[in-house]
DNA sequence: AAGAGGGTCATAAAATATTCACAAAGCGGT
DNA sequence: ACCGCTTTGTGAATATTTTATGACCCTCTT
């Protein structure tokens, strides 16, 4: 699951570095622009998930950047957090009025910044909900699996087993490991039981034709793997 | 286009009156609740477009009110502006973290308030009035549901359950999640109870014929889904 | 008091999981 | 290639778990 892309627009190198550094440490992808021109140009090319915008900028002001972003359909809904040195209320109001989603007064703590960023991003969380392997697609949210567009129907255990394998493609796991990771029940289960489930998984996976996606590694275990025919 | 409905939750009569009066002058429809209980009860009956919530309230705290609103599917996206006398940063953060959309520190000017209200309403346009899934249509205002034009009659609980599912189509939810989001917060309810309501919902949904729109995912839960019958 | 709506339970029905026994297939040594 | 020892694939019987249902009771409204 990868975190959001942020764009920091700030002309003061020290502050820019401080903010960028800390946000990166939180796991965000952070880009930096030193002025409004650069920022707008960057956004035109690759729209970030959130913009942190300083009010005072050389050239185009932050307020103006904000306004222009709001004009474009592509960026009209792009979340913006503005910050400035002025604590005057009138500015805050103007900022929000122009379309900023939030407002921070310098100096602000990193915790305050994180809280705002988190709050804003919560509205549109991207998720690593789809696993893929070859033409196999598993949607973990809707709990559906398909191969070549054909929908497959898997029992709970086969589903978990496949999920685990898809999370670690091409890797060989012993029966013990598979039991440990893909089984919920703690009671002792025969190692050979894994064989049976692998068989059922294979059956379902291959019912529409196509190569066997599960490789048996003698004396070791199984792996989700494509390369099969070493003719 | 008529202005938004606001709910002011504030126990101090003077402040409540001041805020209400001024917002009304701006053209908003303003309702007032003096404590959390009343507020939650009001929201249950008629969902406003935005809530102005004091942090300190007799009985249930504003933070708690906020949290409960977020849990319920019906109100999960409802914009909330919190305000309190404390200006401490930690509180601001906690407030935002709980899901408040904005935060004002008392005392605040009416202009500041207007700006926030406007900003919030602009970015969170009134929630969907009509939910659709396949030929299912739910009108959240008139509280009516129909399938293929045939009107259905659902009990309150089945209605909330269906509403929640329609808000997240094709997504599988565990019984715990369904209880959490579609039930009124109250006493503990058996997980199996969900089965019963799902059954009642199915009965009503399918009484006019047609495929079952609720998919059972064994060992996981249920999802609103067009159950694709494998040939 | 009657009717709704909602929560629990017991039980029937399904859907899956686990084992087992034996066939099949792979491997190493001769 | 042939054998014997292992490890894996299968099919079927059996055991478990999870869902679907129908009935019943309770509470709140009307």
Q: What is the pLDDT of residue B126?
A: 64
Round the average pLDDT of chain B to a whole number and report it: 87
| Residue pair B33/B7 in contact by the 8 Å Cβ criterion | yes
Q: Containing H/E element for A175?
A: helix A175-182
**What pairs with residue B137 in β-bridges?**
B132, B146
Sorting pLDDT into bands at 50, 70 and 90, what band is B87?
A: low
Written as six digits, the tokens of A183 are 């089984």
Whole-angstrom distance, CA of residue A77 vs CA of residue A97: 14
Whole-angstrom distance, CA of residue A37 vs CA of residue A9: 10
Written as six digits, the tokens of A31 are 């880009």
In residues, how long is chain A?
231
Q: Which residue in B has a C-alpha nearest to residue A105's C-alpha?
A: B89
- B109 Cβ contact list (under 8 Å, min separation 6): A89
DSSP annotation string for B162-173:
HHHHHHSTT--B
- B173 Cβ contact list (under 8 Å, min separation 6): B164, B165, B181, B221, B222, B223
List the single residue in B96, B112, B118 with the smallest CB-CB distance to A116.
B96
Interface check B109 vs A, CB under 8 A: yes
pLDDT at B231 over 70: no
| Residue pair B69/B184 in contact by the 8 Å Cβ criterion | no
Whole-angstrom distance, CA of residue B153 vs CA of residue B147: 11
Buried b (16+ CB within 10 A) or exposed e, A191-203: eeebeebbeebbe
Whole-angstrom distance, CA of residue B228 vs CA of residue B231: 9
| Total beta-carbon pairs less than 8 A apart between chain A and chain B | 61
| Residue pair A165/A223 in contact by the 8 Å Cβ criterion | yes
Q: Which of A88, A120, A141 has the highest number of chain B CBs within 10 A, making it the mutation to test binding with B?
A: A141
- Average pLDDT of the residues in B67-79: 84
Question: Which of A25, A177, A212, A149 has its CA nearest to residue B228?
Answer: A149
Using one digit for the tens of pLDDT, what is the confidence trace for B145-156?
999 999 999 999
Nucleotide nearest to A199 (CA to C1'): D9
- A66 vs B73: which has the higher pLDDT: A66
Q: Name the phi and psi angles at A226, rounded to 5.
A: -100, -50
| CA distances in angstroms from A65 to A11, A165, B113, B116, listed in the order given | 14, 47, 24, 20
pLDDT at B167 over 50: yes
Nucleotide nearest to B199 (CA to C1'): D20
Question: In 10 A of CB A99, how many CB atoms?
Answer: 20
pLDDT-flagged residues of chain A (< 70): 1-2, 73, 86-93, 95, 123-128, 185-187, 227-231
Q: What is the pLDDT of residue A125?
A: 53
Q: Give A157-162's long-range contacts (Cβ < 8 A, gap of 24+).
A: A157/A182, A157/A183, A157/A197, A158/A197, A158/A200, A158/A201, A158/A204, A160/A184, A161/A197, A161/A198, A161/A201, A162/A138, A162/A201, A162/A205, A162/A224
Q: How do B130-133 and B136-139 pair as beta strands? A: antiparallel
Q: End-to-end distance of chain A based on CA atoms, in angstroms?
A: 38
Q: What is the pLDDT of residue A231?
A: 41
Using one digit for the tens of pLDDT, what is the confidence trace for B5-63?
899 999 999 999 999 999 999 999 999 999 888 888 888 778 888 999 998 888 888 88
Half-sphere exposure of B128 (CA within 13 A, CB side): 14
- B140 Cβ contact list (under 8 Å, min separation 6): B127, B128, B129, B130, B131, B163
Sorting pLDDT into bands at 50, 70 and 90, what band is B120?
A: confident
| CA distances in angstroms from B203 to B154, B208, B210, listed in the order given | 10, 9, 11
DSSP, res B84: E
Half-sphere exposure of A84 (CA within 13 A, CB side): 21
Using one digit for the tens of pLDDT, what is the confidence trace for B210-222?
899 999 999 999 9
Question: At A168, is the secondary structure helix, strand, or coil?
Answer: coil
Q: What is the pLDDT of residue B47?
A: 83
- Average pLDDT of the residues in B188-202: 95
Whole-angstrom distance, CA of residue A165 vs CA of residue A136: 12
Whole-angstrom distance, CA of residue A170 vs CA of residue A182: 16
Q: What is the pLDDT of residue B227?
A: 63
Q: What is the pLDDT of residue B184?
A: 81
Q: Which of A66, A76, A78, A101 has the highest number of chain B CBs within 10 A, making it the mutation to test binding with B?
A: A101
A100–B102 C-beta distance less than 8 A:
no
**What pairs with residue A31 in β-bridges?**
A7
**What pairs with residue B224 in β-bridges?**
B214
Sorting pLDDT into bands at 50, 70 and 90, what band is B230?
A: very low
B97–A89 C-beta distance less than 8 A:
no
| CA distances in angstroms from A204 to A89, A158, A201, listed in the order given | 64, 9, 5
Q: Which residue in B has a C-alpha nearest to residue A70's C-alpha?
A: B123
Sorting pLDDT into bands at 50, 70 and 90, what band is B100?
A: confident
Q: What is the pLDDT of residue B89?
A: 66
- A119 vs B124: which has the higher pLDDT: A119
Interface check A210 vs B, CB under 8 A: no
- Average pLDDT of the residues in B170-192: 88
């Amino acid at each position: 699951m990868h975190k959001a892309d942020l764009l920091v627009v700030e002309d003061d190198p020290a502050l820019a570095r401080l903010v960028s550094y800390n946000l990166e440490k939180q796991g965000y992808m952070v880009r930096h622009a030193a002025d409004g021109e650069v920022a707008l140009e960057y956004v035109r090319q690759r729209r970030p998930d959130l913009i942190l915008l300083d009010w005072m900028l050389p050239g185009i002001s932050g307020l103006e950047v904000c306004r222009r972003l709001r004009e474009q359909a592509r960026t009209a809904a792009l979340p913006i957090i503005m910050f400035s040195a002025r604590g005057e209320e009138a500015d805050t109001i103007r900022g929000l009025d122009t379309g900023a989603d939030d407002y921070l007064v310098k100096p602000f703590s990193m915790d305050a910044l994180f809280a705002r960023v988190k709050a804003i991003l919560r509205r549109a969380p991207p998720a690593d909900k789809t696993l893929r392997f070859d033409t196999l697609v598993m949607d973990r949210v809707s709990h559906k699996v398909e191969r070549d567009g054909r929908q497959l129907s898997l029992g709970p255990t086969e589903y978990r087993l496949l999920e685990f394998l898809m999370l670690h493609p091409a890797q060989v796991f012993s029966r013990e490991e598979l039991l440990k990771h893909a089984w919920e029940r703690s009671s002792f289960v025969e190692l050979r039981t894994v064989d049976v489930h692998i068989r059922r998984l294979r059956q379902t996976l291959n019912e529409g034709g196509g190569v066997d996606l599960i490789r048996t590694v003698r004396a070791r275990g199984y792996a989700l793997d494509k390369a099969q025919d070493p003719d």
